[in-house]
């Protein structure tokens, strides 16, 4: 059998990082080819290259033996490569038919929209897929699973030869997953090549023919699914040496700082209970979408929760806004520092003192500019923030230094409990290492850190204790001795 | 060093433009740089300066208030109607009537704007567009479309009076309105640049989410800023009423455009996060100088409007291109 799509020696580098290194994979028609790997392994970079979003630094994309040079997603689409993203691209206010034909609407001779043909053809596809949907239904009224079916109907009408599915089952129930698999089988019969990204290893054995494992941007192996076991795949997904990089220190657990009991928010997380102590780093692991960030946002008062309670130093507290959380000495370092962490057009000084201004105001609500200057300079020094002076605009700093500014901000606000959400995302190795020692310093002085991270080595290297979340629940707790990549993946992966 | 000069120039470009304009008009017209004309200028720009002072807060937040002109008119009407209740008022009484009318009418209008925006999530443009029509409509309804006449001469002291009378200038040198405006602008400038509240305004405009996560009561900041904007608009309106010694329902028509222009010329970014009351006043000065210069050069007032709008667009394009470069 001839491969329909080949990537050959593909590399992709971004400023400072090599996201993919020399990847070569063949994809065959009528097969489901799974791509697996941890977050950051390079899966999404690879599909972005295949679908024309990124242009590879080196290497070729070969379709039916012909080399392609996609400059944009449109060109890839015209060649029959479709992507169904995790975040569905359905226009809510259009009908099913209008969504299916979006961008390829049939027109009458007079140039007006041919709604009749559109509705008829759309209904034909829906019936062929044996869906109980009407072409004239509004997309808004469909469930997530039904919307996904509309995406597949789109792919069928476009007669795509290659379909990329990015975690298509992440928001579906078991029943809906079975319906999805039926549609995938129909696509297979039509000789479509499917590239299937998933974190649920069990699905490999149900629906996939071939599997490719990526790790750190490298191609680890490609096998027929019938020739491998789940354990073997997990083993090739992990397996990295963890050196001294994390400045791992043994901390002494102090008193209880934060206790969360039965925290529940509908459709986000359920029955979350845990304790965090002074003098420890509590790591929270799990797949993207497991509800980790949502729980932390609820603890910080950023979003509401339906049930449960929060206790700080043993006393129940009501936290309904970040202001109250800060008053209880909690600080939050969000996962997206550019969007929710920093005022990028403002100075270091202005960012660093923002949560503490009210506490340090002078009579009449005036700013204490001397204090501002003093404390900013002091912390720039302490945390070794590399910038000309405290008046430097944040935009001009590196990611690592920006992250230090956020940390300084919460240290100045006298936080005792720090919630760090993906604290080292997108910063280079040295900055990471420095950041870990700053975390250690904070904990040594009796601080309490709760760190959400998708990087397993980081979780294992830094945490004194690890909680694993799966689908909105805590699926297990591991001591630092028990926490290995294997044991965490086991708890984090969805087996059913 | 070079970059320092660059930064200073880009920050104070409004001052430099103002000086250049003054030189150009001064060379082309003898009367322009005369002391009398310059003092007139400060009184002419006063109303706009008052409107722009509060508007700066709202624009730094990334919002807009296009109701300032109408709110000013309504406050003017209110002050004139209140003034009629005191047929023989003293100067002190007139000042109390005027300021209370301005603060109350402006404050309430601003509070309604603020409430709509924070509580009901109506976008500022639509909220203040509605307020613009409501305030203007009320001005006509209250007066039956007729100006409110018959006010005591003392009513005009704030808007038209002058201090320091000399033999050559028996009417006085310094306009009271200039002093009044200076005080209000100074207070607003201090509030924005020296207080915690002012810093919170910048923070919310710079990144609302970051401000919220830093414990700032975002809605409170937005609400208060709109109230302040309403109050300064109201104070602008009572100055107009005092100056004319009557209440005109059609007063201050289109003033929102000049106030926005002044704010933007003063370097306040329409996307929020940066700006200054002080520099907005220089923006007012530029507009006043251009108008005054064009008057002296006998250019028609229709053309003046076109020129002002062209200048606003140029200022916004400049602001946007700077934003792009920095990213």
The CATH number linked to A85 is 3.40.50.300
Residue A61, strand partner residues: A7, A68
CA torsion through residues A121, A126, A127, A129, sign: positive
Chain B residues whose C-beta is within 8 A of a chain A C-beta are 194-200, 202-203, 206-207, 209-217, 273-274, 326-327
- In eight-state DSSP terms, residue A95 is B
Averaged pLDDT score across all residues of chain B: 89
Domains of chain B with bracketed CATH: 36-316 (1.10.3470)
Nearest chain A residue to B195 by CA: give it: A366
ipTM of this complex prediction, to 2 decimal places:
0.82
3-state secondary structure of A79: coil
Residue contact A339–B209, C-beta within 8 A: yes
Task: For residues A13-41, give the mean pLDDT.
Answer: 85
* Cβ–Cβ contact A365 with B under 8 A: yes
In this predicted structure, the answer to whether residue B161 has a pLDDT above a threshold of 90 is no
For residue A24, count other CB atoms closer than 10 A to its CB.
13
* Cβ–Cβ contact A409 with B under 8 A: yes
Task: For residues A142-167, give the mean pLDDT.
Answer: 87
Residues A259 and A126 in one domain: no
The residue among A294, A291, A295, A255 whose CA lies nearest residue A276 is: A255
Please give the C-alpha separations between residue B306 and each of A11, A361, B299, B300, B314, in angstroms, as whole numbers: 55, 46, 12, 10, 12
The residue among A131, A136, A93 whose CA lies nearest residue A116 is: A136
Tell how many helices (H) and how many strands (E) occur in chain A. Answer: 16, 20
Task: For residues B143-161, give the mean pLDDT.
Answer: 91
Q: Between A105 and A321, name the one with better pLDDT.
A: A321
pLDDT at residue number B327: 40
Under 8 Å CB pairs connecting chains A and B tally to 74
Strand order in the sheet with A465-470: A330-333, A417-421, A448-452, A280-286, A465-470, A473-479
pLDDT at residue number B3: 62
Residue contact A343–B209, C-beta within 8 A: no
d(CA B3, CA B9): 10
CA torsion through residues A467, A471, A472, A474, sign: negative
Element (H, E) at A140: none
Nearest chain B residue to A395 by CA: give it: B327
Provide the token pair at A400: 């690592």
Please give the C-alpha separations between residue A338 and each of A333, A398, A406, A423, B11, in angstroms, as whole numbers: 11, 11, 11, 12, 25
In this predicted structure, the answer to whether residue A243 has a pLDDT above a threshold of 50 is no
Residues A221 and A348 in one domain: no
pLDDT at residue number B94: 94
pLDDT at residue number A5: 93
CA diameter of chain A: 80
Q: Between B168 and A364, name the one with better pLDDT.
A: A364
- In eight-state DSSP terms, residue A321 is S
Which A-chain residues 381-400 have CB contacts (< 8 A) with chain B? 393, 395
In this predicted structure, the answer to whether residue A173 has a pLDDT above a threshold of 80 is no
At which of A181, A204, A237 does a domain end? A237
Provide the token pair at A160: 């795509």
- In eight-state DSSP terms, residue A319 is -
Residues A111 and A259 in one domain: no
pLDDT at residue number A245: 64
Residue contact B273–A343, C-beta within 8 A: yes
Give how many domains chain A has, as a whole number.
2
A302, A334, A358: residue with CB nearest B196: A358
d(CA A335, CA B209): 13
A332, A366, A395: residue with CB nearest B213: A332
- pLDDT above 90 covers a percentage of chain A that reads 47
Residue A345, min C-alpha distance to chain B (Å)? 7
Residues A167 and A59 in one domain: yes
* pTM tops 0.90: no
Task: For residues A260-272, give the mean pLDDT.
Answer: 93
pLDDT at residue number B309: 82
Residues A180 and A208 in one domain: yes
- In eight-state DSSP terms, residue A168 is T
Provide the token pair at A352: 């660093």
Task: For residues A203-230, give the mean pLDDT.
Answer: 90
In this predicted structure, the answer to whether residue B1 has a pLDDT above a threshold of 60 is no
d(CA B221, CA B201): 6
B198, B206, B209: residue with CB nearest A346: B206
Residue A334 burial by Cβ neighbours in a 10 Å radius (0-12, 13-18, 19+): buried
pLDDT at residue number B171: 77
Nearest chain A residue to B326 by CA: give it: A395
Q: Between A200 and A401, name the one with better pLDDT.
A: A401
3-state secondary structure of A309: strand
Residues A261 and A343 in one domain: yes
Residues A106 and A165 in one domain: yes
* Cβ–Cβ contact A300 with B under 8 A: yes
Q: Which of A93-107, A295-309, B19-33, B223-237 ranks highest by mean pLDDT?
A: B223-237
| Least confident range of A319-328, A408-417, B30-39, B104-113 | B30-39
Averaged pLDDT score across all residues of chain A: 88
| pLDDT tens string A346-375 | 999 999 999 999 999 999 999 999 999 999
Q: Any idea of the CA torsion for B85, B90, B92, B98, to the nearest 10 degrees? A: 30
Provide the token pair at B316: 């916004």
pLDDT at residue number A242: 40
Q: Between A392 and A144, name the one with better pLDDT.
A: A392
3-state secondary structure of A13: strand
At which of A210, A237, A264 does a domain end? A237
* Cβ–Cβ contact A337 with B under 8 A: no
In this predicted structure, the answer to whether residue B8 has a pLDDT above a threshold of 80 is no
| Least confident range of A415-424, A451-460, B277-286 | A451-460
Residue A428: which pLDDT band, with cuts at 50, 70 and 90?
low
Nearest chain B residue to A393 by CA: give it: B326
* Cβ–Cβ contact A343 with B under 8 A: yes
pLDDT at residue number A17: 67
Residues A217 and A346 in one domain: no
Task: For residues A324-334, give the mean pLDDT.
Answer: 94
B209, B217, B326: residue with CB nearest A395: B326
Task: For residues A42-57, give the mean pLDDT.
Answer: 89
Is residue B51 within 8 Å of residue B65, measured between CB atoms?
no
In this predicted structure, the answer to whether residue A307 has a pLDDT above a threshold of 60 is yes
| pLDDT tens string A268-289 | 899 999 999 999 999 999 887 7
Residue contact A345–B212, C-beta within 8 A: no
3-state secondary structure chain B: CHHHHHHHHHHCHHHHHHHHHHHHHHHHCCCCCCHHHHHHHHHHHHHHHHHHHHHHHHHHCCCCCCCHHHHHHHHHHHHHHHHHCCCCCCHHHHHHHHHHHHHHHHHHHHHHHHHHHHHCCCCHHHHHHHHHHHHHHHHHHHHCCCCECCCCHHHHHHHHCEECCCCCCCCCCEEHHHHHHHHHHHHHHHHHHHEHHHHHHHHHHHCHHHHHHCCCCHHHHHHHHHHHHHHHHHHHHHHHHHHHCCECCCCCCCHHHHHHHHHHHCCCCCCCCCCCHHHHHHHHHHHHHHHHHHHHCCCCHHHHHHHHHHHHHHHHHHHHHHHHHHC
Residues of chain A in contact with residue B202, where contact means CB-CB under 8 angstroms, are 346, 350
Residues A253 and A178 in one domain: no
Residue B5: which pLDDT band, with cuts at 50, 70 and 90?
confident
pLDDT at residue number B317: 82
Residues A134 and A105 in one domain: yes
pLDDT at residue number B322: 67
At which of A203, A237, A271 does a domain end? A237
A339, A354, A364: residue with CB nearest B214: A354
Residues A350 and A401 in one domain: yes
3-state secondary structure of A104: coil
Residues A229 and A319 in one domain: no
Element (H, E) at A112: none
CA diameter of chain B: 63
Is residue B100 within 8 Å of residue B158, measured between CB atoms?
no
Task: For residues B115-144, give the mean pLDDT.
Answer: 95
Is residue A173 within 8 Å of residue A145, measured between CB atoms?
yes
Could you list the residue range(s) of the whole structural domain that residue A101 is in?
Answer: 5-237
In this predicted structure, the answer to whether residue A259 has a pLDDT above a threshold of 70 is yes
């Amino acid at each position: 059998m001839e491969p329909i799509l080949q990537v050959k020696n593909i590399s992709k580098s971004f400023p400072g990082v090599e996201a993919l290194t020399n990847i070569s994979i063949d994809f065959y028609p009528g097969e489901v080819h799974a791509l697996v790997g941890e977050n950051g392994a390079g899966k999404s970079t690879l599909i972005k290259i295949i679908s024309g979003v990124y242009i590879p630094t080196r290497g070729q994309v070969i379709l039916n033996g012909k080399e392609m040079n996609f400059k944009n997603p449109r060109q890839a689409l015209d060649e029959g490569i479709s992507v169904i993203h995790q975040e569905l691209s359905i226009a809510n206010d259009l009908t099913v038919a209008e969504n299916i034909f979006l961008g390829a609407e049939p027109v009458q001779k007079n140039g007006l929209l041919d709604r009749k043909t559109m509705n008829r053809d759309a209904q034909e596809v829906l019936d062929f897929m044996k869906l109980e949907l009407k072409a004239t239904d509004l997309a808004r009224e469909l469930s997530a699973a039904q919307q996904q079916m509309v995406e597949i109907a789109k792919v069928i009408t476009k007669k795509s030869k290659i379909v990329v599915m990015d975690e298509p089952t992440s928001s579906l129930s078991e029943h809906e997953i079975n319906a999805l698999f039926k549609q995938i089988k129909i696509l297979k019969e039509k000789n479509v090549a499917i590239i299937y990204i998933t974190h649920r290893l069990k699905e490999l054995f149900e629906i996939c023919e071939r599997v490719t494992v990526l790790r750190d941007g490298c191609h680890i192996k490609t096998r027929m699914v019938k020739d491998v076991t789940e354990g073997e795949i997990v083993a090739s997904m992990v397996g990295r040496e963890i050196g001294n990089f994390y400045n791992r220190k043994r901390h002494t657990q102090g008193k209880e700082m934060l206790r969360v009991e039965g925290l529940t928010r509908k459709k986000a997380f359920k029955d979350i209970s845990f304790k965090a102590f002074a003098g420890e780093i509590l790591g929270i692991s799990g797949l993207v979408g497991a509800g980790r960030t949502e729980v932390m946002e609820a603890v910080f008062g950023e979003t509401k929760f339906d049930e449960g309670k929060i206790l700080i130093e043993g006393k129940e507290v009501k936290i309904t806004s970040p202001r109250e959380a800060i008053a209880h000495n909690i600080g939050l370092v969000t996962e997206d520092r550019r969007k929710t962490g920093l005022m990028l057009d403002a100075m270091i000084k202005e960012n660093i003192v923002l949560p503490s201004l009210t506490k340090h105001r002078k009579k009449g609500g005036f700013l204490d500019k001397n204090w501002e200057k003093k404390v900013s300079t002091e912390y720039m020094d302490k945390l070794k923030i590399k910038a000309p002076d405290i008046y430097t605009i944040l935009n001009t700093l590196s990611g690592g230094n920006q992250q230090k500014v956020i940390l300084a901000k919460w240290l100045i606000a006298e936080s005792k409990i720090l919630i760090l959400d993906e604290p080292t995302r997108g910063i280079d190795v040295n900055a990471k290492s420095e950041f870990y020692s700053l975390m250690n310093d904070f904990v040594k002085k009796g601080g309490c850190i709760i760190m959400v991270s998708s990087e397993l080595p980081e979780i294992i290297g830094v945490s004194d204790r690890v909680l694993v979340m799966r689908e909105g629940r805590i699926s297990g707790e591991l001591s630092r001795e028990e926490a290995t990549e294997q044991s965490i993946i086991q708890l984090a992966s969805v087996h059913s | 060093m070079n970059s320092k000069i660059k930064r200073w120039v880009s920050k104070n470009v409004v001052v430099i433009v103002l000086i250049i304009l003054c030189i150009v008009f001064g060379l082309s017209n003898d009367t322009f740089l005369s002391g009398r004309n310059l003092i007139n200028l400060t009184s002419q720009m006063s109303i706009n300066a008052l409107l722009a002072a509060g508007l700066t807060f709202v624009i730094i937040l990334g919002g807009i208030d296009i109701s300032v002109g109408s709110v000013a008119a309504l406050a003017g009407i209110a002050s004139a109607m209140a003034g009629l209740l005191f047929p023989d008022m003293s100067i002190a009484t007139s000042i109390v009537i005027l300021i209370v009318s301005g603060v109350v009418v402006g404050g309430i209008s601003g509070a309604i704007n603020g409430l709509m925006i924070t509580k009901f999530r109506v976008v500022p443009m639509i909220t203040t567009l509605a307020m613009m029509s409501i305030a203007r409509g009320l001005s006509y309804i209250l007066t039956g479309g007729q100006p409110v006449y018959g006010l005591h001469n003392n009513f005009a002291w704030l808007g038209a009076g002058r201090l320091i009378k000399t033999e050559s200038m028996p009417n006085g040198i310094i306009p009271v309105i200039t002093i009044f405006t200076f005080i209000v602008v100074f207070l607003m400038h201090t509030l924005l640049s020296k207080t915690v509240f002012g810093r919170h305004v910048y923070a919310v405009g710079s990144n609302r989410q970051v401000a919220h996560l830093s414990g700032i009561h975002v809605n409170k900041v937005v609400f208060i800023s709109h109230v302040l904007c309403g109050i300064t608009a109201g104070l602008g309106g009572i100055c107009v009423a005092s100056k004319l010694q009557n209440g005109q329902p059609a007063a201050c028509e289109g003033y929102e455009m000049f106030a926005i222009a002044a704010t933007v010329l003063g370097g306040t970014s329409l996307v929020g996060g940066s700006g200054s009351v002080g520099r907005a006043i220089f923006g007012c000065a530029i507009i006043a100088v251009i108008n005054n210069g064009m008057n002296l050069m006998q250019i028609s007032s229709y053309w003046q409007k076109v020129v002002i709008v062209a200048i606003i667009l140029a200022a916004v394009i400049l602001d946007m291109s700077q934003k792009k470069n920095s990213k």
